[in-house]
Structure 1
Amino acid sequence: MSQGNLSAGLSSLLQKLSELFSARRAPAGYRPGVTLEHLRRNLALARFELSMPGAATVVTDDGSLQLEIVERTESQLLMHVVTTEFVLHVPASREGSARLQLHHGGAIRRSGIHCRQLKGDDALSVRLRTAIEGDRALYAALMPLDFKRLDIELQGRQWSVRLEHVGGSEVVNRMPAFRRYIALSPLQREALFATLGGLRRVLSTF
Protein backbone atom coordinates (compact mmCIF):
# COMPACT_ATOMS: atom_id res chain seq x y z
CA MET A 1 0.00 0.00 0.00
CA SER A 2 1.36 3.44 -0.91
CA GLN A 3 2.02 6.05 1.73
CA GLY A 4 -0.78 8.18 0.31
CA ASN A 5 -3.32 5.39 0.54
CA LEU A 6 -2.16 4.52 4.06
CA SER A 7 -2.53 8.14 5.14
CA ALA A 8 -6.01 8.35 3.62
CA GLY A 9 -7.01 5.10 5.31
CA LEU A 10 -5.81 6.29 8.70
CA SER A 11 -7.57 9.61 8.23
CA SER A 12 -10.84 7.83 7.39
CA LEU A 13 -10.49 5.54 10.42
CA LEU A 14 -9.81 8.47 12.75
CA GLN A 15 -12.84 10.30 11.35
CA LYS A 16 -15.09 7.29 12.00
CA LEU A 17 -13.74 6.90 15.52
CA SER A 18 -14.30 10.60 16.16
CA GLU A 19 -17.90 10.35 14.91
CA LEU A 20 -18.53 7.28 17.07
CA PHE A 21 -17.11 9.00 20.17
CA SER A 22 -19.14 12.16 19.51
CA ALA A 23 -22.34 10.16 19.04
CA ARG A 24 -21.91 8.49 22.43
CA ARG A 25 -20.95 11.64 24.31
CA ALA A 26 -23.75 13.85 25.61
CA PRO A 27 -23.67 17.33 24.03
CA ALA A 28 -22.52 20.31 26.07
CA GLY A 29 -25.44 21.88 27.90
CA TYR A 30 -27.61 18.77 27.84
CA ARG A 31 -29.63 18.50 31.06
CA PRO A 32 -31.18 15.02 31.40
CA GLY A 33 -34.84 15.11 32.32
CA VAL A 34 -35.58 18.72 31.37
CA THR A 35 -37.33 17.80 28.13
CA LEU A 36 -39.17 14.96 29.88
CA GLU A 37 -40.51 17.43 32.43
CA HIS A 38 -41.96 19.54 29.62
CA LEU A 39 -43.44 16.39 28.12
CA ARG A 40 -44.88 15.30 31.46
CA ARG A 41 -46.88 18.53 31.70
CA ASN A 42 -47.74 18.25 28.01
CA LEU A 43 -49.14 14.70 28.25
CA ALA A 44 -50.96 15.38 31.53
CA LEU A 45 -51.02 11.72 32.55
CA ALA A 46 -51.70 10.70 36.14
CA ARG A 47 -48.93 8.09 36.08
CA PHE A 48 -45.64 9.51 34.81
CA GLU A 49 -42.60 8.39 36.80
CA LEU A 50 -38.91 9.07 36.18
CA SER A 51 -37.04 5.75 36.18
CA MET A 52 -33.59 7.33 35.74
CA PRO A 53 -32.19 10.65 34.43
CA GLY A 54 -33.57 11.06 30.92
CA ALA A 55 -36.03 8.16 31.10
CA ALA A 56 -39.55 7.62 32.43
CA THR A 57 -42.33 5.05 32.57
CA VAL A 58 -45.92 6.11 31.90
CA VAL A 59 -49.35 4.53 31.91
CA THR A 60 -52.26 5.99 29.97
CA ASP A 61 -55.21 7.08 32.10
CA ASP A 62 -57.39 4.22 30.90
CA GLY A 63 -54.64 1.75 31.80
CA SER A 64 -54.47 0.33 28.29
CA LEU A 65 -50.84 1.24 27.57
CA GLN A 66 -47.64 1.11 29.59
CA LEU A 67 -44.73 2.82 27.88
CA GLU A 68 -41.13 3.79 28.40
CA ILE A 69 -40.03 7.25 27.26
CA VAL A 70 -36.34 7.91 26.66
CA GLU A 71 -34.56 11.14 25.79
CA ARG A 72 -32.31 11.02 22.72
CA THR A 73 -29.79 13.73 21.80
CA GLU A 74 -28.54 14.87 18.43
CA SER A 75 -25.59 17.27 18.30
CA GLN A 76 -25.33 20.01 15.69
CA LEU A 77 -23.14 23.08 15.30
CA LEU A 78 -23.50 25.24 18.46
CA MET A 79 -26.76 23.50 19.32
CA HIS A 80 -28.36 20.17 20.08
CA VAL A 81 -31.81 18.64 19.81
CA VAL A 82 -33.39 16.46 22.49
CA THR A 83 -36.09 14.13 21.18
CA THR A 84 -38.26 11.68 23.07
CA GLU A 85 -38.60 8.06 22.02
CA PHE A 86 -41.76 6.17 23.03
CA VAL A 87 -41.05 2.48 23.61
CA LEU A 88 -43.73 -0.23 23.72
CA HIS A 89 -43.05 -3.91 24.51
CA VAL A 90 -45.46 -6.65 23.43
CA PRO A 91 -45.00 -10.40 24.14
CA ALA A 92 -44.66 -12.50 20.98
CA SER A 93 -46.49 -15.80 20.51
CA ARG A 94 -43.38 -17.46 19.10
CA GLU A 95 -39.66 -16.87 18.81
CA GLY A 96 -38.28 -15.12 15.79
CA SER A 97 -36.22 -12.27 14.42
CA ALA A 98 -37.51 -9.39 12.34
CA ARG A 99 -37.18 -5.64 12.02
CA LEU A 100 -39.48 -3.31 10.10
CA GLN A 101 -39.53 0.43 9.70
CA LEU A 102 -42.74 2.32 8.98
CA HIS A 103 -42.82 5.60 7.09
CA HIS A 104 -45.23 7.79 5.18
CA GLY A 105 -45.35 7.54 1.41
CA GLY A 106 -45.28 10.59 -0.85
CA ALA A 107 -42.63 13.25 -1.34
CA ILE A 108 -44.88 16.28 -0.69
CA ARG A 109 -48.27 14.95 0.38
CA ARG A 110 -48.70 11.79 2.41
CA SER A 111 -49.95 9.03 0.16
CA GLY A 112 -50.03 6.09 2.55
CA ILE A 113 -48.07 4.04 5.05
CA HIS A 114 -45.20 1.86 3.88
CA CYS A 115 -43.32 -0.87 5.73
CA ARG A 116 -39.68 -1.55 4.91
CA GLN A 117 -38.01 -4.74 6.05
CA LEU A 118 -34.56 -4.16 7.52
CA LYS A 119 -33.76 -7.71 8.63
CA GLY A 120 -35.20 -11.02 9.73
CA ASP A 121 -37.66 -13.66 8.57
CA ASP A 122 -39.11 -12.72 5.17
CA ALA A 123 -42.38 -14.61 5.66
CA LEU A 124 -42.98 -13.08 9.10
CA SER A 125 -42.22 -9.58 7.85
CA VAL A 126 -44.63 -9.96 4.94
CA ARG A 127 -47.43 -11.16 7.24
CA LEU A 128 -46.84 -8.34 9.68
CA ARG A 129 -46.66 -5.73 6.93
CA THR A 130 -49.95 -6.99 5.51
CA ALA A 131 -51.60 -6.91 8.95
CA ILE A 132 -50.44 -3.36 9.67
CA GLU A 133 -51.44 -2.01 6.29
CA GLY A 134 -54.81 -3.79 6.48
CA ASP A 135 -55.80 -2.50 9.94
CA ARG A 136 -58.04 0.47 9.13
CA ALA A 137 -58.03 1.96 12.66
CA LEU A 138 -54.23 1.79 12.85
CA TYR A 139 -53.89 3.25 9.37
CA ALA A 140 -56.21 6.13 10.32
CA ALA A 141 -54.07 6.91 13.37
CA LEU A 142 -50.74 6.65 11.53
CA MET A 143 -51.59 8.93 8.62
CA PRO A 144 -51.79 12.21 10.60
CA LEU A 145 -49.05 11.24 13.07
CA ASP A 146 -45.91 13.38 12.75
CA PHE A 147 -43.21 10.85 13.54
CA LYS A 148 -39.54 10.96 12.61
CA ARG A 149 -38.84 7.25 13.08
CA LEU A 150 -40.96 4.17 13.80
CA ASP A 151 -39.16 0.84 14.22
CA ILE A 152 -40.77 -2.52 15.02
CA GLU A 153 -38.41 -5.30 16.06
CA LEU A 154 -38.81 -8.90 17.19
CA GLN A 155 -36.08 -10.38 19.37
CA GLY A 156 -36.71 -13.78 20.90
CA ARG A 157 -40.28 -13.72 22.17
CA GLN A 158 -40.73 -9.96 22.49
CA TRP A 159 -41.77 -7.23 20.10
CA SER A 160 -40.40 -3.73 20.68
CA VAL A 161 -41.87 -0.63 19.09
CA ARG A 162 -39.74 2.54 19.11
CA LEU A 163 -41.47 5.70 17.97
CA GLU A 164 -39.69 9.05 17.82
CA HIS A 165 -42.17 11.90 17.43
CA VAL A 166 -41.48 15.35 15.99
CA GLY A 167 -43.15 16.89 19.04
CA GLY A 168 -42.17 16.32 22.65
CA SER A 169 -38.71 17.58 21.71
CA GLU A 170 -36.49 20.52 22.61
CA VAL A 171 -34.02 22.65 20.65
CA VAL A 172 -31.12 23.98 22.75
CA ASN A 173 -28.89 26.67 21.26
CA ARG A 174 -25.63 27.89 22.78
CA MET A 175 -25.05 31.07 20.74
CA PRO A 176 -27.34 32.91 21.12
CA ALA A 177 -28.50 30.98 24.16
CA PHE A 178 -32.10 29.78 24.06
CA ARG A 179 -34.21 26.69 24.64
CA ARG A 180 -37.43 25.93 22.77
CA TYR A 181 -39.78 23.07 23.55
CA ILE A 182 -41.89 21.72 20.68
CA ALA A 183 -45.12 20.51 22.25
CA LEU A 184 -47.37 17.63 21.30
CA SER A 185 -50.70 19.06 20.16
CA PRO A 186 -53.91 17.44 21.47
CA LEU A 187 -54.49 15.89 18.03
CA GLN A 188 -50.96 14.49 17.89
CA ARG A 189 -51.28 13.16 21.44
CA GLU A 190 -54.46 11.34 20.44
CA ALA A 191 -52.90 9.95 17.25
CA LEU A 192 -49.79 8.84 19.16
CA PHE A 193 -51.68 6.79 21.72
CA ALA A 194 -54.04 5.40 19.06
CA THR A 195 -51.05 4.32 16.96
CA LEU A 196 -49.28 2.60 19.85
CA GLY A 197 -52.54 0.97 20.93
CA GLY A 198 -53.14 -0.24 17.38
CA LEU A 199 -49.65 -1.65 17.07
CA ARG A 200 -50.02 -3.48 20.37
CA ARG A 201 -53.31 -4.96 19.11
CA VAL A 202 -51.74 -6.15 15.84
CA LEU A 203 -48.51 -7.44 17.37
CA SER A 204 -50.32 -9.40 20.08
CA THR A 205 -51.58 -11.74 17.34
CA PHE A 206 -48.05 -12.61 16.16
Structure 2
Amino acid sequence: MTVITILRQKLFELLRADRAPSGYRPGVTLEHLRRNLGLASFERLSANSAQLCVDDVALQIVERTESQLLMHLVMTEFVLRMPASAGGTGSFDVHHGGVIRRNGIRLRRRTGNQAIGRELQARLVADEALFQALMPLDFKRLRIELRDQQWWVRLEHMGGSEVVNRMPAFRRYIAVSPEQRNHLLAALAGMKRVLSNL
Protein backbone atom coordinates (compact mmCIF):
# COMPACT_ATOMS: atom_id res chain seq x y z
CA MET A 1 0.00 0.00 0.00
CA THR A 2 1.21 3.46 -0.80
CA VAL A 3 1.37 6.26 1.72
CA ILE A 4 -1.45 8.12 -0.05
CA THR A 5 -3.70 5.06 0.10
CA ILE A 6 -3.03 4.63 3.83
CA LEU A 7 -3.67 8.32 4.50
CA ARG A 8 -6.89 8.22 2.48
CA GLN A 9 -8.09 5.18 4.42
CA LYS A 10 -7.25 6.78 7.78
CA LEU A 11 -9.02 10.01 6.77
CA PHE A 12 -12.10 8.04 5.71
CA GLU A 13 -12.16 6.20 9.06
CA LEU A 14 -11.78 9.50 10.91
CA LEU A 15 -14.67 11.16 9.08
CA ARG A 16 -17.11 8.24 9.06
CA ALA A 17 -20.60 9.56 9.84
CA ASP A 18 -21.84 6.45 11.67
CA ARG A 19 -18.99 6.48 14.19
CA ALA A 20 -19.55 8.12 17.58
CA PRO A 21 -17.28 11.14 18.11
CA SER A 22 -14.22 10.74 20.28
CA GLY A 23 -15.07 11.76 23.83
CA TYR A 24 -18.82 11.19 23.44
CA ARG A 25 -20.30 9.87 26.68
CA PRO A 26 -23.76 8.39 25.96
CA GLY A 27 -26.38 9.49 28.46
CA VAL A 28 -24.47 12.35 30.08
CA THR A 29 -26.44 15.05 28.24
CA LEU A 30 -29.69 13.20 28.97
CA GLU A 31 -28.85 13.22 32.67
CA HIS A 32 -28.21 16.99 32.53
CA LEU A 33 -31.55 17.40 30.74
CA ARG A 34 -33.37 15.22 33.31
CA ARG A 35 -32.18 17.44 36.16
CA ASN A 36 -32.78 20.56 34.09
CA LEU A 37 -36.43 19.70 33.29
CA GLY A 38 -37.17 18.52 36.83
CA LEU A 39 -39.97 16.14 35.81
CA ALA A 40 -40.61 13.00 37.85
CA SER A 41 -41.82 10.95 34.86
CA PHE A 42 -38.40 10.98 33.14
CA GLU A 43 -37.44 7.32 32.57
CA ARG A 44 -34.28 6.02 30.87
CA LEU A 45 -34.84 3.52 28.05
CA SER A 46 -31.21 3.02 26.99
CA ALA A 47 -27.84 4.75 27.27
CA ASN A 48 -28.89 7.48 24.84
CA SER A 49 -32.68 7.56 25.02
CA ALA A 50 -35.37 8.27 27.59
CA GLN A 51 -39.13 8.47 27.89
CA LEU A 52 -41.15 11.29 29.38
CA CYS A 53 -44.86 11.62 30.07
CA VAL A 54 -46.32 15.05 30.81
CA ASP A 55 -50.09 15.18 31.35
CA ASP A 56 -51.33 12.93 28.51
CA VAL A 57 -48.37 13.52 26.16
CA ALA A 58 -45.84 10.66 25.94
CA LEU A 59 -42.49 11.65 24.46
CA GLN A 60 -39.26 9.92 23.66
CA ILE A 61 -35.99 11.87 24.03
CA VAL A 62 -32.98 10.77 21.99
CA GLU A 63 -29.39 12.01 22.05
CA ARG A 64 -27.98 12.87 18.64
CA THR A 65 -24.34 13.73 17.95
CA GLU A 66 -22.88 16.02 15.34
CA SER A 67 -19.13 15.97 14.71
CA GLN A 68 -17.05 19.03 13.90
CA LEU A 69 -13.29 19.21 13.36
CA LEU A 70 -12.02 19.27 16.97
CA MET A 71 -15.36 19.27 18.73
CA HIS A 72 -18.75 17.64 18.74
CA LEU A 73 -22.25 18.58 19.77
CA VAL A 74 -24.70 16.38 21.62
CA MET A 75 -28.27 17.45 20.97
CA THR A 76 -31.46 16.07 22.45
CA GLU A 77 -34.38 15.46 20.16
CA PHE A 78 -37.94 15.28 21.54
CA VAL A 79 -39.98 12.75 19.55
CA LEU A 80 -43.78 12.63 19.63
CA ARG A 81 -45.42 9.72 17.79
CA MET A 82 -49.14 9.22 17.35
CA PRO A 83 -51.62 7.51 14.99
CA ALA A 84 -52.77 9.46 11.95
CA SER A 85 -56.22 9.44 10.42
CA ALA A 86 -54.82 10.92 7.20
CA GLY A 87 -53.30 8.57 4.67
CA GLY A 88 -50.23 9.17 2.55
CA THR A 89 -46.74 10.32 3.35
CA GLY A 90 -45.04 13.62 3.85
CA SER A 91 -42.20 15.44 5.54
CA PHE A 92 -42.54 19.08 6.60
CA ASP A 93 -40.13 21.49 8.30
CA VAL A 94 -41.57 24.12 10.62
CA HIS A 95 -39.63 27.34 11.19
CA HIS A 96 -40.12 30.92 12.28
CA GLY A 97 -40.85 33.53 9.64
CA GLY A 98 -38.95 36.80 9.48
CA VAL A 99 -35.28 37.61 9.10
CA ILE A 100 -34.64 39.83 12.12
CA ARG A 101 -37.83 39.42 14.13
CA ARG A 102 -40.08 36.42 14.31
CA ASN A 103 -43.28 37.27 12.50
CA GLY A 104 -45.04 33.94 12.14
CA ILE A 105 -44.78 30.21 11.71
CA ARG A 106 -43.93 28.81 8.28
CA LEU A 107 -44.13 25.25 7.03
CA ARG A 108 -41.94 23.98 4.20
CA ARG A 109 -42.84 20.77 2.42
CA ARG A 110 -39.84 18.52 1.91
CA THR A 111 -41.70 15.56 0.41
CA GLY A 112 -45.23 14.29 0.13
CA ASN A 113 -48.71 15.61 -0.46
CA GLN A 114 -48.96 19.38 -0.83
CA ALA A 115 -52.62 19.40 0.32
CA ILE A 116 -51.60 17.87 3.66
CA GLY A 117 -48.94 20.57 3.97
CA ARG A 118 -51.45 23.37 3.38
CA GLU A 119 -53.89 21.89 5.90
CA LEU A 120 -51.10 21.44 8.44
CA GLN A 121 -49.92 25.05 7.98
CA ALA A 122 -53.47 26.35 8.49
CA ARG A 123 -53.96 24.31 11.66
CA LEU A 124 -50.61 25.33 13.17
CA VAL A 125 -51.54 29.00 12.82
CA ALA A 126 -55.22 28.55 13.77
CA ASP A 127 -54.51 26.84 17.12
CA GLU A 128 -53.87 29.91 19.27
CA ALA A 129 -52.26 28.07 22.21
CA LEU A 130 -49.86 26.20 19.90
CA PHE A 131 -49.01 29.38 17.99
CA GLN A 132 -48.31 31.24 21.27
CA ALA A 133 -46.02 28.41 22.42
CA LEU A 134 -44.12 28.11 19.11
CA MET A 135 -43.41 31.82 18.58
CA PRO A 136 -41.03 32.30 21.56
CA LEU A 137 -39.70 28.71 21.45
CA ASP A 138 -35.99 28.57 20.57
CA PHE A 139 -35.84 25.45 18.46
CA LYS A 140 -33.10 24.46 16.06
CA ARG A 141 -35.17 21.98 14.08
CA LEU A 142 -38.82 20.99 14.05
CA ARG A 143 -39.92 18.33 11.58
CA ILE A 144 -43.36 16.77 11.17
CA GLU A 145 -43.55 13.52 9.20
CA LEU A 146 -46.45 11.37 8.11
CA ARG A 147 -45.61 7.75 7.33
CA ASP A 148 -47.08 4.32 7.98
CA GLN A 149 -50.34 5.86 9.26
CA GLN A 150 -48.43 7.68 12.01
CA TRP A 151 -47.43 11.26 12.73
CA TRP A 152 -43.85 11.83 13.91
CA VAL A 153 -42.87 15.17 15.43
CA ARG A 154 -39.14 15.67 16.00
CA LEU A 155 -38.20 18.81 17.90
CA GLU A 156 -34.62 19.75 18.65
CA HIS A 157 -34.41 22.63 21.10
CA MET A 158 -31.42 25.01 21.23
CA GLY A 159 -31.01 24.10 24.91
CA GLY A 160 -30.72 20.62 26.34
CA SER A 161 -27.48 20.17 24.41
CA GLU A 162 -23.80 19.90 25.17
CA VAL A 163 -20.74 21.31 23.42
CA VAL A 164 -17.61 19.17 23.76
CA ASN A 165 -14.30 20.63 22.59
CA ARG A 166 -11.04 18.69 22.37
CA MET A 167 -8.57 21.58 22.05
CA PRO A 168 -8.78 23.32 24.44
CA ALA A 169 -10.61 20.61 26.36
CA PHE A 170 -13.96 21.66 27.79
CA ARG A 171 -17.57 20.54 28.05
CA ARG A 172 -20.50 22.87 28.41
CA TYR A 173 -24.15 21.96 28.87
CA ILE A 174 -26.63 24.50 27.50
CA ALA A 175 -29.63 24.47 29.81
CA VAL A 176 -33.30 24.83 28.92
CA SER A 177 -34.57 27.86 30.84
CA PRO A 178 -37.78 27.50 32.90
CA GLU A 179 -39.60 29.75 30.43
CA GLN A 180 -38.39 27.71 27.44
CA ARG A 181 -39.32 24.49 29.27
CA ASN A 182 -42.91 25.72 29.54
CA HIS A 183 -43.03 26.73 25.86
CA LEU A 184 -41.50 23.39 24.83
CA LEU A 185 -44.03 21.29 26.74
CA ALA A 186 -46.93 23.50 25.58
CA ALA A 187 -45.77 23.23 21.95
CA LEU A 188 -45.57 19.44 22.08
CA ALA A 189 -49.00 19.21 23.75
CA GLY A 190 -50.35 21.55 21.04
CA MET A 191 -48.82 19.40 18.30
CA LYS A 192 -50.57 16.36 19.73
CA ARG A 193 -53.87 18.24 19.85
CA VAL A 194 -53.59 19.52 16.27
CA LEU A 195 -52.37 16.26 14.73
CA SER A 196 -54.95 14.09 16.51
CA ASN A 197 -57.65 15.73 14.38
CA LEU A 198 -55.78 15.58 11.07
TM-score (norm 2): 0.91
Instruction: Pick closer, same or farther for the CA change 1:115–1:18 going to 2, 3 Å.
Output: farther
Residue 61 of structure 2: SS of its match in structure 1? strand
- Structure 1 residues 19 and 117: CA distance shift in structure 2, 3 A: farther
Q: Where does residue 118 of structure 2 map in the other structure? A: 126
Q: After TM superposition, which residue ranges in structure 1, 4 or more long, deviate above 6 angstroms?
A: none
- Say whether residues 1:88 and 2:75 are aligned partners: no
- Write out per-residue CA displacement over residues 78-103 of structure 1, whole angstroms, 9 at most, x where no aligned residue: 11110000000121113221111100
Which ranges in structure 1 are unaligned for 5 or more consecutive residues? 1-13
Q: 1:38 aligns with which of 29, 32, 44?
A: 32
Label 1:125 to 1:18 Cα distance change in 2 as closer, same or farther (>3 A).
Answer: farther
Rounded to whole Å, the distance in 1 between the matches of 2:118 and 2:124 is: 10
**Pair 1:200–1:20, CA change in 2 (3 A):** farther
AA matched with 1:40 = R
**Cα distance, 1:80–1:106 mapped onto 2, change above 3 Å:** same
Distance 1:19 1:120 in 2: 35
Partner Cα separation in structure 1 for residue 14 and residue 80 of structure 2: 27
Q: How many residues align?
A: 190
Which residue of structure 2 aligns with residue 23 of structure 1? 17
For the residues of structure 1 that align with 2:93 and 2:137, how far apart are their CA atoms? 15
Question: What fraction of aligned residue pairs are identical, expressed as a percent?
Answer: 61
Offset of residue 18 of structure 1: 4.3
**Alignment-derived partner of residue 171 in structure 1:** 163
Q: Secondary structure at the match of 2:186?
A: helix
What is the DSSP-based 3-state SS (H/G/I as helix, E as strand, rest coil) of the residue aligned with 1:194?
A: helix
| Distance in 1 (alpha carbons) for counterparts of 2:132 and 2:36 | 23
Match of 2:95 among 103, 109, 118: 103
Uncovered stretches (5+) of structure 2, i.e. residues with no partner? 1-7
Given the alignment of the two structures, is residue 49 of structure 1 paired with residue 43 of structure 2, yes or no? yes
How many angstroms apart in 1 are the aligned matches of 2:120 and 2:48? 32
1:178 deviates by: 1.0
Q: Which SS does the other structure have where 1:23 is aligned?
A: coil
1:169 to 1:45, Cα distance in 2 relative to 1, 3 A: same
For 1:38 and 1:123, the matched residues in 2 are separated by 40
Q: State the superposition RMSD in angstroms.
A: 1.9
> Which one of 45, 57, 73 corresponds to residue 65 of structure 1?
57
Alpha-carbon distance, 1:188 to partner: 0.3
Q: Which amino acid aligns with 1:125?
A: G
Q: Does 1:141 align with 2:133?
A: yes
Instruction: Compute the TM-score of the two structures, normalised by the length of structure 1.
Output: 0.87
Partner amino acid for 1:189? R
